[in-house]
């Protein structure tokens, strides 16, 4: 595959994966606003989706380098902890239609998913470096994975006051690192392969920390464990099975 053709295919494929993230907000069309019980369940589902996605990233990263993936996990946890502390020290009161304490949580989830998208963008570029067929397969797989990741963003933003359109737009924006990094990764495959497991681990660590330390505890405080944990575990199992089906 000659470089000009490769660059065009990579840019097109990575742009498609970014746009697919916005589809995650579609289940909320006509269902806004949500009541307290549904809001708590939404937080649980978002956490389950993020943990399941993180497991897939860890498995993928370990195939490249277990040690580098572990380094990335630690860096991701530190990143989210620092961002959360920064938001707590400098409260965000308004973001994308979300007001009050929920605005800061919306900012954190968008930042976490943006970091996640960076790793996926590198993955798309590396895949096309292995040939058009591998690149296309990887593009489809990541696009399918991005839909529930967009859903996770919508589940955090919409119950706190954001519109469906705003949540969809921010979901797509969070995935812009994919087209921005996929082309350089394709052109610099050797460098990209070296940093890919670190990026995958970083994204996994960030999402697990966000899910288990931020989303689930807040939801349990608001509505009780009996509503939150079943939603989280159900989402985890469903997305996990979908990822296995895609991988097969």
Which pLDDT belongs to residue 14?
85
Contact between residue 31 and residue 140 where contact means Cβ atoms under 8 Å apart: no
Residue extents of the structural domains in the chain: 3-27+38-247
Which pLDDT belongs to residue 246?
61
Q: Please, what's the largest Cα pairwise distance for the chain?
A: 57
Which pLDDT belongs to residue 101?
62
pLDDT digits (tens, 9 = 90+) for 131-143: 777 777 778 777 8
Which pLDDT belongs to residue 223?
67
pLDDT digits (tens, 9 = 90+) for 196-216: 788 778 878 877 887 787 777
Which portions of the chain are predicted below pLDDT 50? none
Which pLDDT belongs to residue 234?
81
Q: Phi and psi (nearest 5°) for 94?
A: -145, 130
Indicate the pairing of strand 94-95 with strand 98-99.
antiparallel
Nearest to 113 by CA among 18, 232, 181, 185: 18
Peptide bond into 33 cis (omega under 30): yes
Alpha helices in 158-215 (DSSP H): 164-174, 177-187, 189-209
Which pLDDT belongs to residue 180?
87
For 225, half-sphere exposure in the C-beta direction (CA atoms, 13 angstrom radius) is 1
């Amino acid at each position: 595959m000659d470089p000009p053709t490769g660059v065009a295919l990579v840019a097109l494929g990575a742009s498609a994966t970014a746009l697919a993230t916005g589809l995650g907000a579609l289940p909320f069309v006509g269902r806004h606003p949500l009541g307290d019980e549904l809001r708590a369940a939404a937080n649980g589902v978002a956490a389950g989706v993020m943990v399941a996605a993180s497991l897939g990233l860890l498995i993928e990263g370990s195939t490249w380098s277990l040690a580098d993936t572990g380094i990335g996990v630690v860096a991701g946890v530190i990143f989210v902890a620092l961002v959360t502390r920064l938001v707590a020290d400098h409260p965000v009161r308004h973001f994308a239609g979300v007001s009050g304490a929920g605005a800061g949580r919306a900012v954190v989830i968008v930042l976490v998913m943006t970091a996640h998208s960076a790793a996926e963008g590198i993955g798309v570029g590396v895949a096309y470096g292995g040939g058009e067929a591998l690149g296309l397969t990887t593009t489809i797989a990541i696009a399918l994975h991005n839909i529930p990741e967009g859903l996770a963003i919508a589940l955090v933003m919409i119950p706190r006051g954001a519109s469906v359109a705003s949540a969809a737009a921010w979901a797509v924006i969070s995935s812009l690192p994919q087209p921005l990094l996929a082309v350089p990764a394709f052109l610099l495959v050797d460098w990209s392969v070296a940093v890919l497991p670190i990026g995958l681990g970083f994204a996994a660590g960030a999402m697990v920390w966000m899910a288990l330390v931020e989303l689930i505890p807040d939801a349990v405080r608001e509505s009780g464990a009996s509503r939150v944990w079943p939603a989280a575990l159900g989402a985890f199992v469903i997305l996990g099975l979908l990822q296995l089906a895609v991988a097969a």
